[in-house]
Amino acid sequence: MATRKTEVLMINSVGEYVAGTKVKLPPDEADSFILKGYADGPLSREFSDEEREAHRAVTQEVTV
Amino acid sequence: MSAHYNLALQEFLKGTIGDVTAGGTVLKVRLMRVSAYTFAQTHQFASSLPAALVTDVILGSKAANGQGADPGCFDAADATFVAVPSGAAIDCLATYKDTGVAGTSPLLWYIDGFTVTPNGGDITIQWANANPFIAKL
């Protein structure tokens, strides 16, 4: 049975997923990318504020 | 001491490096540590770089005019490296045109002057939003 995937529009380039392109990702990965601000797209479910914060907690940003 | 690789500038002048903003041209960014890499103008290809700490990122939304009003400035969307292993600070990066073979992938730009100590999570490189953006020719 085929695994359902979620189509997202990449905002950042993430690894080999190129910014400005639409990619289909497993729902968990798509949710993570959307919650972290790496991509735009539909979430697979509602996320609590705590869950949203948990996704962002270990991300780091540096300006060059 | 951020810098262009002069051998890349030479290729830009000769027109042999092609349109690096074109969709079919793959530009990648590699995170590095200055303890593992010393910039040198003799370096021409990605084979001169140390092994990747994490999967190199392919740049997207590339532009040759900054955000529209700065001709000559290369810009792209921010680059996120996923699950960078914890360890010593990361403090430099290089951009190269990927040909699929490190020994023929031209080095373009080297950037340092930043530091981030990986915590095992993602690291996003936020490019400057003003001239020179990522690099200005």
**Which residues in chain B have Cβ-Cβ distances shorter than 8 Å to A62?**
114-116, 123-126
Q: Is A3's pLDDT higher than 80?
A: no
Cβ B16 vs Cβ B99: under 8 Å: no
**Across the interface, do A59 and B121 touch by the CB < 8 Å criterion?**
yes
Compute the average pLDDT of residues B101-112: 97
User: What pLDDT does residue B68 have?
Assistant: 84
Q: Is the Cβ of B82 closer than 8 Å to some Cβ of chain A? A: yes
* Separation of alpha carbons B113 and B96, rounded Å: 19
User: What pLDDT does residue B26 have?
Assistant: 97
Q: Is A62's pLDDT higher than 80?
A: yes
* Separation of alpha carbons B5 and B2, rounded Å: 10
pLDDT band at B69 (very low <50, low <70, confident <90, very high): confident
User: What pLDDT does residue A2 have?
Assistant: 66
**Which residues in chain A have Cβ-Cβ distances shorter than 8 Å to B133?**
none
**pLDDT digits 0-9 by tens, B11-63:** 999 999 999 999 999 999 999 999 999 999 999 999 999 999 999 999 999 99
User: What pLDDT does residue A1 have?
Assistant: 63
For chain A, the first-to-last Cα distance in angstroms comes to: 45
CB-nearest to B124 from A17, A20, A61 is: A61
CB-nearest to A38 from B80, B116, B128 is: B80
- With a CB cutoff of 8 Å and minimum separation 6, the contacts of B16 are none
**Across the interface, do B60 and A20 touch by the CB < 8 Å criterion?**
yes
Minimal Cα distance from A11: which residue of B?
B77
* Separation of alpha carbons B134 and B130, rounded Å: 9
Listed in sequence order, the DSSP H helices in chain A are: 27-36, 49-57
Q: Supply the ipTM of this predicted assembly.
A: 0.92
- With a CB cutoff of 8 Å and minimum separation 6, the contacts of B96 are B27, B28, B30, B45, B46, B49, B105, B106, B107, B108
**Across the interface, do B61 and A61 touch by the CB < 8 Å criterion?**
no
**pLDDT digits 0-9 by tens, A12-61:** 999 889 999 999 999 999 999 999 999 999 999 999 999 999 999 989 99
Structure tokens at A56: 């962002």
pTM of the full predicted structure?
Answer: 0.94
